[in-house]
């Protein structure tokens, strides 16, 4: 059953829609605030660059973002309005580093037609009122009182119905707006109005200007002393005020964004649809405008927002490509550009299509997206988890332990790699050819298994075996000293650091030795009541060679204990609970916080914070990493220490923003790992896995890895073919010459290098609409099928298209067959060895036929009419699920005997679909254009035909994102024997560049998490006082309904970000321990 679904973001939206600059976090600090659809990011300007401070989730899609300075305030406030007609005013409290809600409200009207050109929200430069244009013919005013408090809002009738832009004018004694609008003859004009607050009405303003550029779309208000407004068109830019009018022609372009450079408003940056950045200068004399000048500066990503920051550095926010930090140079570079890109910020949006592939064939999905638009189009390979890049590997069976050693204490690199087996120890070392070869350390006992090895002070090495501890010179490699286990006892477990050795023998004896120059001294001995299972004395205090604490894991009572060193006094004892013994303990420090990690034999990991002064253990948490015993080891990457947990599900444990994170390592099973930092393989790891010893480097430590393949053109469809190891994409290139504006292509890419190896150009006006890799019955070949449409300017809907069938031969696309269709081929599916196409309002099934001459052709078999436009089709068995342009989801069935397709059931709601997917035989998932998700179920048991013919809506949820594609699959390695491995997941990609996962949960887990979600709503409040319940409620033009059968995984997983106190508050409400809650939530985070 896929009724109960959990929706979570794997990759947050990255499309930058708004940005602004001001003193938000302190009167002295300059901030850049960036809106990414449902999130805002607060950055601080520093000498080193932009420093991200906070990522703030907003319970709404941001329609307006403005900083303003109310009278008498030393800092700016932030005004945010959302598309669902909520707004809030936020203030930063620098003492607590919290966002305070100064005001919020609902600005919706019961009656009103939402504006076609988006919502407008503006603030009077003198802070007398906030103006909103949300519905045609209405201008909403939220007045400020003289103390800066907001008062009740009211509407004013606005005569202009087709408003393109509204801005406040500077320097007016009464608040004055300038309105750019289109009249019913499609001519564009500007008009000014004074807002009479007392009368709640408009008064004709000081000036107006008729008959502007037909492409005029943007107003830029000019601050004092010049005042007035710039009207930006496609062919002209005009400066207009009560007493001046200046115009300049520009090269035809659509200006998408502007940024003011100077406080006096004399210079502006303009970004156009092609990513060209211009500087617009208002020349003036004695505060009188004398003219306009415009110059091309260079190229950037296509900007959706431009913010001048400081010292010639500018932020370019983009919806179509990566956002950028650029510098404006006084001198042009070799290409004549004044723009230098300093930094770029990844943006996957818009994700138009994607596919899930397992390129490395490791059982882990990677998402390859068609991202970006126009010249900023790209493919992005998104992979979860940390990869190991293999440098060298040898076959070695039965490795029981590994340690790296240096040849002298101050050598920066490791020389030896000690590999222990059940009855011997082998030593590998790098030779002069930088190859690993076997060597000897004479002082070591190589006839037995090594329990532990470590570098020691004074150029010494320590080897612990079951019978003794050997101290060896690292230079002469000779034995210097040896401590023998008492007769009748053998050492079971041991650990050491540069100056200390701690070991345990049978019978619960704990022995502590200290290392001197050529000496091994038994300092202390203690007898514990049970056998010891694991030990650690990793120094995490001030002295990096000496630990004052020892961690000891115990059999029988299943506890972990902290002892003081050198006294071996018991400080803390923590019962672990359950019956599984601890197999590995590790003291470690992340971001200045000390932790004790304790791994159990069943793949669970406990972590505690350690108080270094009194050894106390607090903040116990538990996670499940795998099902097999775990071995813990620290390693360094880029000067930061992380922990590697070797097990059936290898994991890297690291810390980010003071929170422990667990990231999968993209390897199947790792028995042992040790860092091996040699001159030839710097910063590498030695990994023992599946009878193999591998040396490799590790990826950057982060959860998601994104590889960008810039295309310079817009990819719209992608598909992978396992057999030819290729991708095929449909893409379009915008020609620079105006007459033939676009050309569409099918391109074949190598799936490893992602380089284009073959191209098939489509006809003029022919668009690639769908692509599929499939095979047909009675034919062993695998083909790429492409569906196209001829998009003619004079047609409302295409009336002609083609289905093209290609085979990949010698790395080339060879056209095998083609078939003309009576419309656009919006979707292609492999169906019962045949080809199922969605063509305009029809579903059409084609057979793959062998002609007498041996060639192949596509032949029509049957079809089904009755859609407005059948845009999205998914199939399962004989069932066909269709997502219609405006008639929601319908279910069709193919009847073999009759060779016919019939409608079985449909959802009678009027949903405008953007994607569909089949969750199981009876449950289908849909996304629609009001940013909602919903599920419908087939009602096979219905009593009447009418009931059976109706798809019942069983789940509804407001995602707040426009979904372009669903695909079955997973971003993480799935272990069939784990609980999480049983959960079915669907991945989705959105216009804002978000990647999310929808997981179908068992009912009991859903009920549990639903309760957790409602408890979390009480503890985690919506920024700006916005309600989570309202945000997630299903909402379209007709109705709003509470979310059902979907849970917000982003809220649920934020449990892990809470302070201990707040976690306990939630735990009380749930009647479940914090440990259990965090374990269950942590498991969910491993779904993505």
* Contacting other proteins within 981-1040 (CB under 8 A): 1019-1025
Binding mask 259-278 for other proteins (x = CB under 8 A): --xxx---x-----------
Strand partners, 880: 875, 892
Binding residue (CB under 8 A) for other proteins from 36, 133, 140, 1032: 140
781 binds other proteins per the rule CB under 8 A: no
Contact 158, 139 (CB under 8 A): yes
State the number of binding residues for other proteins (CB under 8 A).
100
Q: Measured from the CB of residue 1061, what is the shortest distance to other proteins in angstroms?
A: 9
Residues 647-686, interacting with other proteins (CB under 8 A): 656-657
Q: Nearest CA to 955 among 907, 990, 996? A: 907
386 binds other proteins per the rule CB under 8 A: no
CB of 54 or CB of 356, closer to other proteins: 54
Please count the residues of the chain. Answer: 1088
156 binds other proteins per the rule CB under 8 A: yes
CA distances from 791 to 326, 328, 1045 (A): 38, 41, 40
Sign of CA dihedral 88, 94, 96, 97: positive
Binding residue (CB under 8 A) for other proteins from 26, 27, 154, 779: 154
285 binds other proteins per the rule CB under 8 A: no
CB of 74 or CB of 943, closer to other proteins: 74
CA distances from 669 to 418, 647, 711, 733, 1083 (A): 21, 6, 37, 45, 19
422 binds other proteins per the rule CB under 8 A: no
CB of 14 or CB of 646, closer to other proteins: 14
CB of 141 or CB of 915, closer to other proteins: 141
331 binds other proteins per the rule CB under 8 A: yes
269 sits in which H/E element: strand 267-272
Contact 386, 699 (CB under 8 A): yes
Stretch that binds other proteins, among 289-297, 396-404, 440-448, 535-543 (CB under 8 A): 289-297
Q: Measured from the CB of residue 281, what is the shortest distance to other proteins in angstroms?
A: 6
DSSP character for 1023?
Answer: G
Contact 393, 692 (CB under 8 A): yes
CB of 204 or CB of 921, closer to other proteins: 204
55 binds other proteins per the rule CB under 8 A: yes
Task: Report the 10 Å Cβ neighbour count for 341.
Answer: 16
636 binds other proteins per the rule CB under 8 A: no
699 binds other proteins per the rule CB under 8 A: no
DSSP character for 586?
Answer: E
742 binds other proteins per the rule CB under 8 A: no
447 binds other proteins per the rule CB under 8 A: no
Q: Nearest CA to 717 among 733, 728, 709? A: 728
CA distance 420 to 427: 9
30 binds other proteins per the rule CB under 8 A: yes
CB of 330 or CB of 334, closer to other proteins: 330
DSSP states of 424-471 as a string?
-EEEEEE-TTS-EEEE--TTS--SS-EEEEEEETTTEEEEEESSEEEE
8 binds other proteins per the rule CB under 8 A: no
CB of 54 or CB of 457, closer to other proteins: 54
Which residue in this structure is represented by tokens 């436009």? 869
Q: Measured from the CB of residue 54, what is the shortest distance to other proteins in angstroms?
A: 5
CA distance 605 to 598: 6
Binding residue (CB under 8 A) for other proteins from 27, 332, 518, 761: 332
Residues 191-220, interacting with other proteins (CB under 8 A): 196, 199-204
618 binds other proteins per the rule CB under 8 A: no
CA distance 146 to 170: 19
3 state SS of 897: coil
Contact 549, 587 (CB under 8 A): yes
Instruction: Reduce the secondary structure of 1027-1070 to three states and give it as a string.
Output: CHHHHHCEECCCCEECCECEEEHHHHHHHHHCCHHHHHHHHHHH
Binding residue (CB under 8 A) for other proteins from 10, 11, 57, 955: 57
Residues 843-862, interacting with other proteins (CB under 8 A): none
Stretch that binds other proteins, among 90-98, 219-227, 456-464, 750-758 (CB under 8 A): 90-98
CA distance 395 to 643: 25
1073 binds other proteins per the rule CB under 8 A: no
User: Which segments of 832-888 are extended strands (E)?
Assistant: 834-839, 842-850, 856-864, 870-876, 879-884
Binding residue (CB under 8 A) for other proteins from 117, 162, 627, 702: 702
CB of 582 or CB of 1024, closer to other proteins: 1024
Residues 808-847, interacting with other proteins (CB under 8 A): none
CB of 260 or CB of 906, closer to other proteins: 260
Q: Measured from the CB of residue 342, what is the shortest distance to other proteins in angstroms?
A: 5
CA distance 289 to 266: 10
Q: Nearest CA to 35 among 10, 59, 64? A: 64
Residues 159-178, interacting with other proteins (CB under 8 A): 159
CA atoms within 13 A on the CB side of 698: 33
956 binds other proteins per the rule CB under 8 A: no
Q: Measured from the CB of residue 891, what is the shortest distance to other proteins in angstroms?
A: 40
- Token pair, residue 34, equals 């960036």
CA distance 463 to 763: 73
CA distance 607 to 890: 50
Q: Residue 710 contacts by C-beta under 8 Å, 6 or more apart in sequence?
A: 377, 378
279 binds other proteins per the rule CB under 8 A: yes
142 binds other proteins per the rule CB under 8 A: yes
CA distance 336 to 340: 11
Stretch that binds other proteins, among 209-217, 336-344, 393-401, 446-454 (CB under 8 A): 336-344
Binding residue (CB under 8 A) for other proteins from 48, 639, 753, 796: 48
608 binds other proteins per the rule CB under 8 A: no
Q: Measured from the CB of residue 262, what is the shortest distance to other proteins in angstroms?
A: 6
CA distance 1042 to 722: 43
CB of 294 or CB of 612, closer to other proteins: 294
Q: Measured from the CB of residue 414, what is the shortest distance to other proteins in angstroms?
A: 27
Binding residue (CB under 8 A) for other proteins from 344, 400, 573, 856: 344
CB of 347 or CB of 450, closer to other proteins: 347
333 binds other proteins per the rule CB under 8 A: no
124 binds other proteins per the rule CB under 8 A: no
Stretch that binds other proteins, among 84-92, 433-441, 565-573, 669-677 (CB under 8 A): 84-92
346 binds other proteins per the rule CB under 8 A: yes
Q: Measured from the CB of residue 456, what is the shortest distance to other proteins in angstroms?
A: 37
Q: Residue 572 contacts by C-beta under 8 Å, 6 or more apart in sequence?
A: 561, 562, 615, 616, 617
Binding mask 215-244 for other proteins (x = CB under 8 A): ------------------------------
CA distance 1007 to 1001: 10
Stretch that binds other proteins, among 95-103, 349-357, 581-589, 682-690 (CB under 8 A): 95-103
DSSP states of 893-924 as a string?
EEETTTTEEEEEEE--S---EEEEEE-SSSEE
10 binds other proteins per the rule CB under 8 A: no
């Amino acid at each position: 059953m896929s009724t109960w679904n959990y929706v979570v973001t794997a990759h947050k939206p990255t499309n930058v829609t708004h940005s602004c600059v001001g003193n938000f976090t302190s009167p002295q600090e300059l901030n850049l605030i960036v809106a990414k659809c449902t999130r805002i990011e607060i950055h601080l300007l520093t000498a080193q660059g932009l420093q991200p401070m906070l990522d703030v989730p907003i319970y709404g899609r941001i329609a307006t973002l403005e900083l303003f300075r109310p009278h008498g305030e030393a800092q700016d406030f932030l005004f945010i309005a959302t598309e669902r007609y909520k707004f809030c005013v936020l203030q930063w409290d620098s003492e607590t580093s919290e966002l305070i809600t100064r005001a919020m409200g609902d600005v919706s009207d019961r009656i009103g037609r939402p504006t076609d050109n988006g919502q407008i929200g503006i603030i009077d430069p003198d802070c007398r009122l906030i103006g909103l244009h949300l519905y045609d013919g209405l201008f909403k005013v939220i007045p400020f009182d003289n103390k800066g408090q907001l008062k009740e809002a009211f509407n004013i009738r606005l005569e202009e119905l087709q408003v393109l832009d509204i801005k406040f004018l500077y320097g007016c004694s009464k608040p004055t707006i300038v309105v750019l609008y289109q009249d019913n003859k499609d001519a564009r004009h500007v008009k000014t109005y004074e807002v009479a607050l007392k009368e709640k009405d408009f008064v004709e303003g000081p000036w107006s200007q008729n008959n502007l550029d037909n492409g005029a779309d943007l107003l830029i208000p000019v601050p004092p002393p010049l005042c007035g407004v710039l009207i930006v068109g496609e062919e002209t830019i005009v400066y207009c005020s009560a007493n001046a009018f200046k115009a300049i022609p520009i090269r035809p372009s659509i200006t998408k964004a502007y940024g003011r450079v100077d406080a006096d408003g004399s210079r502006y940056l303009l970004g156009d649809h092609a990513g060209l950045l211009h500087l617009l200068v208002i020349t003036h004399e004695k505060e009188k405008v004398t003219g306009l000048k415009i110059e091309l500066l260079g190229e950037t990503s296509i900007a959706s927002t431009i913010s001048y920051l400081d010292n010639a550095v500018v932020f370019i926010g983009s919806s179509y490509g990566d956002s950028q930090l650029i510098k404006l140079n006084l001198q042009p570079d070799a290409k004549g550009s004044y723009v230098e890109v300093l930094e770029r910020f990844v943006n996957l949006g818009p994700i138009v299509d994607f596919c899930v592939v397992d390129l490395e064939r490791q059982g882990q999905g990677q998402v390859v997206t068609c991202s970006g638009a126009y010249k900023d189009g790209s493919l992005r390979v998104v992979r979860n988890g940390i990869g190991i890049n293999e440098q060298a590997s040898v076959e070695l069976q039965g490795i029981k332990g590994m340690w790296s050693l240096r040849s002298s204490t101050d050598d920066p690199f490791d020389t030896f790699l000690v590999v222990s087996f059940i009855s011997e120890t082998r030593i590998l070392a790098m030779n002069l050819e930088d190859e690993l070869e076997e060597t000897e350390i004479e002082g070591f006992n190589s006839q037995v298994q090594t329990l532990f090895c470590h570098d020691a002070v004074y150029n010494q090495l320590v080897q612990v075996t079951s019978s003794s501890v050997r101290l060896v010179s690292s230079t002469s490699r000779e034995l210097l000293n040896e401590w023998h286990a008492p007769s009748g006892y053998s050492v079971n477990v041991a650990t050491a650091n540069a100056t200390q050795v701690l070991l345990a023998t049978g019978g619960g004896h704990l022995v502590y030795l200290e290392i001197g120059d050529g000496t091994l001294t038994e300092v202390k001995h203690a007898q514990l009541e049970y056998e010891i299972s694991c030990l650690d004395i990793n120094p995490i205090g001030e002295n990096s060679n000496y630990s004052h604490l020892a961690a000891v894991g115990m059999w029988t009572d299943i506890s972990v204990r902290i002892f003081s060193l050198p006294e071996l006094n018991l400080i803390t004892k923590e019962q672990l609970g359950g019956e599984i013994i601890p197999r590995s303990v590790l003291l470690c420090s992340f971001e200045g916080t000390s932790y004790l990690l304790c791994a159990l034999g069943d793949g669970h990991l406990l972590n505690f914070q350690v108080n270094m002064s009194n050894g106390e253990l607090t903040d116990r948490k538990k996670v499940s990493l795998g099902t097999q015993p775990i071995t813990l080891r620290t390693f360094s990457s880029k000067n930061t220490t992380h922990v590697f947990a070797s097990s059936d599900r290898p994991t890297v444990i690291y810390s980010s923003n003071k929170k422990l994170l667990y990231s999968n390592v993209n390897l199947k099973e790792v028995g042992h790992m040790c860092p091996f930092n040699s001159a030839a393989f710097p910063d590498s790891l030695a990994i023992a896995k599946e009878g193999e010893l591998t040396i490799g480097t590790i990826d950057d430590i982060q959860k998601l890895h994104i590889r960008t393949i810039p295309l310079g053109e817009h990819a719209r469809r992608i598909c992978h073919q396992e057999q030819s190891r290729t991708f095929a994409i449909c893409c379009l290139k915008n020609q620079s010459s105006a007459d033939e504006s676009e050309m569409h292509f099918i391109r074949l890419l190598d799936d490893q290098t992602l380089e284009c190896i073959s191209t098939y150009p489509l006809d003029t006006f022919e668009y690639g609409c769908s692509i599929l890799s499939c095979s047909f019955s009675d034919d062993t070949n695998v083909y790429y099928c492409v569906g196209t449409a001829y998009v003619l300017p004079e047609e409302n809907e295409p009336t002609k298209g083609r289905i093209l069938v290609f085979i990949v031969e010698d790395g080339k696309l060879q056209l095998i067959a083609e078939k003309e269709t009576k419309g656009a081929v919006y979707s292609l599916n492999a169906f019962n060895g045949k080809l199922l196409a969605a063509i305009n309002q029809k579903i059409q099934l084609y057979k793959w036929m062998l002609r007498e001459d041996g060639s192949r052709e596509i032949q029509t078999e049957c079809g089904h009419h009755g859609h407005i436009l059948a845009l999205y089709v998914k199939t399962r068995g004989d069932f066909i699920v269709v997502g219609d342009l405006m008639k929601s989801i319908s279910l069709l069935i193919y009847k073999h005997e009759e060779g016919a397709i019939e409608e079985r059931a449909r959802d009678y709601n009027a949903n405008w679909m953007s994607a569909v997917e089949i969750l199981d035989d009876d449950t289908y998932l849909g996304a629609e254009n009001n940013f909602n998700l919903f599920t419908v179920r087939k009602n096979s048991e219905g009593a009447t035909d009418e009931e059976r013919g109706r798809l019942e809506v069983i789940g509804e949820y407001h995602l707040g994102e426009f979904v372009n594609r669903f695909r079955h699959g997973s971003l993480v390695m799935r272990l069939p024997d784990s609980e999480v491995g049983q959960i079915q997941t669907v991945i989705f990609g959105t216009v804002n560049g978000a990647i999310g996962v929808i997981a179908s949960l068992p009912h009991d887990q859903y009920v549990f998490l639903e309760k957790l979600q409602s408890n979390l709503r009480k503890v985690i409040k919506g920024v700006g006082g916005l309600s989570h319940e309202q945000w997630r409620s299903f909402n379209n033009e007709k109705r709003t309904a509470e979310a059902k059968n979907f849970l917000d995984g982003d809220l649920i997983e934020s449990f892990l970000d809470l302070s201990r106190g707040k976690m306990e508050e939630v735990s009380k409400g749930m009647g479940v321990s914090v440990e259990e809650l965090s374990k269950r939530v942590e498991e969910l985070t491993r779904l993505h």
